[in-house]
Amino acid sequence: MAPNAESPTSVAGAGAPTRRAGSLPFPDRPAGTVNDGMPFDHIIVAMMENHSFDNLLGDLGRSRTDIDALDFDSSGAATNSNPGGGGTPGTVTAFPLANTAQTTAVTQSWKATHEQVNGGAMDGFVQSTGAREPMGYYTPEVLPFAYSLASQFTVGDRWFCSVPGPTYPNRRFLLAGTAYGDTVTTVETLFDAPPPHGTIFDVLSAQNISWCDYFSDLPMTSVIPSIILKHAEHHAPIAKFFHDCQAGTLPAVSFVDPRIGVLSDIGAPLKSLPGIVRDALSVLGADFEGTDPAETEEDPQDMYWGEAWAATLIQAVLDSTAWERTLLIYLYDEHGGYYDHVAPPAAIAPDAIAPQLQPGDPPGAYDVYGPRVPAVVVSPYSAAGGVTSVVHDHTSVLATIEAKWNLPALTDRDAAANDVMDFLDLDLAPRTGIKVQAPSQTGPSGPVTPVSSG
């Protein structure tokens, strides 16, 4: 925990939770009481898609001994490996990716993820697809923004996705503290009933705490359609985010979504949302027909577009008049099928709802995290080149919001989660004038298909 900061007692991991769903972080204070020990008035959450820690930031192991990234030998070659399978060599060693292109030779389904983790051996990534691609990792030359962000702020090297599975269940954990049965990213899940304990937005609205989901084409809140129906007025096109950011008029809590792309695996099901939800989204300005490149960094998207979007977003926050009272959490929903060498630990089950397994799925429950994902906290009090190894998952976002405004936990998982105060050093003088490096339109960081000049 950051020095001189006030934070509720919680422990993310196995065992009995120290708090339970519905409890307040500070039970001696009324709900909605502002925690002045947390040095921000604005929380911004930007969640990208489908990359493990080792895949996106593994090259940090080449130059840093304080961070748990890939291992390298004296020649600078990565040494982490997995047994081969299918058409691959018998052993596949981690290798640098040459450019921003991605293939579809990765998978993060419930079945595949459990095979990849293999009880903690972390040796099933290649065999789950029969391809080398899961062992690829990016270098600073290919992803200059990601590595610039890691050098300018504090990285978490024990942030795990909330469930060993795909996008929709993990995003449900981010928004509601539970996947409430979901294990897949499909149209059918969009017709599920709302989460039994509500979402973080229900709690914020109940306490009249301002919030907004700013979206590029389709809001990520659509994975729980009841959010759209109950809180349509809290959604706005992303242009308003940049306006509000520059004016210093952001709400207390902002979720900011890159362009999903209606042809992507996560975007395509949203075209089949119930008609009443689609109608509400259309009124808000959602785009179900756009053809611009997607920016979430989900495979097979070109990584350039996500890097460019994120660099623009975060630089706008750094240049905002409200920067000194802002905290931004930049993270990824799940590993996308890419290799990570750290075994996920046990986790607190959020509730009594069991996962709805598909035919052929291995048994399991919501009592273990998924693989590590990149997470960086951007704040005036986030040390340049810092690292924290405290265990977090996506419900740490909820825990941070709840600790700031003394809000009741949605589930046992977020009640037990660590907030992000360990990313901060309150003894630092607030840092200003920070710049992040955007990708170039040419060279290894540029799109494989050149940017049109027309």
pLDDT, mean of each 10-residue run, the chain (454 residues): 56 64 97 97 98 98 97 97 93 98 96 98 97 98 98 98 98 98 95 96 98 97 96 97 96 98 88 90 91 94 98 98 97 98 98 96 97 98 98 98 98 98 96 97 91 47
| Local structure of 389: helix, strand or coil | coil
Task: Supply the pLDDT for residue 85.
Answer: 85
Task: Supply the pLDDT for residue 17.
Answer: 64
Task: Supply the pLDDT for residue 271.
Answer: 86
Closest residue by Cα to residue 167 from 50, 272, 262, 56: 50
Task: Supply the pLDDT for residue 408.
Answer: 98
User: What is the Cβ-side half-sphere exposure of residue 418, based on CA atoms within 13 angstroms?
Assistant: 20
In the chain, where are the structural domains located? Answer: 42-445
d(CA 416, CA 14): 10
Task: Supply the pLDDT for residue 75.
Answer: 96
Say if strands 211-215 and 375-378 run parallel, antiparallel, or are unpaired: unpaired
Closest residue by Cα to residue 335 from 86, 175, 117, 178: 117
Are 370 and 112 spatial neighbours (Cβ–Cβ below 8 Å)? Answer: no
Distance of CA 195 to the CA centre of its chain: 20
Count helices and strands (H / E) in the chain: 11, 12
Q: In 18-87, which ranges are E strands?
A: 42-48, 81-83
Closest residue by Cα to residue 62 from 14, 96, 107: 96
d(CA 40, CA 97): 38
Task: Supply the pLDDT for residue 16.
Answer: 63
Site of tokens 């001189």: 4
d(CA 231, CA 208): 13
d(CA 25, CA 239): 34
Alpha helices in 160-294 (DSSP H): 167-176, 200-206, 226-230, 238-247, 275-284
Closest residue by Cα to residue 255 from 201, 319, 307, 325: 201
| Cα Rg of the chain (Å, integer) | 20
For residue 188, give both structure tokens. Answer: 């059918």
Give burial (CB, 10 Å; 0-12/13-18/19+) of 375.
buried
- From residue 14, alpha-carbon distances to 18, 355, 367 in Å are 11, 18, 8
* C-alpha torsion sign, points 411, 238, 189, 51: negative
Site of tokens 């825990």: 399
Question: Which fold, 42-445?
Answer: Alkaline Phosphatase, subunit A (3.40.720)
d(CA 223, CA 184): 11
Closest residue by Cα to residue 52 from 135, 129, 111: 135
pTM: 0.96
Instruction: State the DSSP H helix or E strand holding residue 95, giving kind and residue range, or none if neither.
Output: strand 95-96
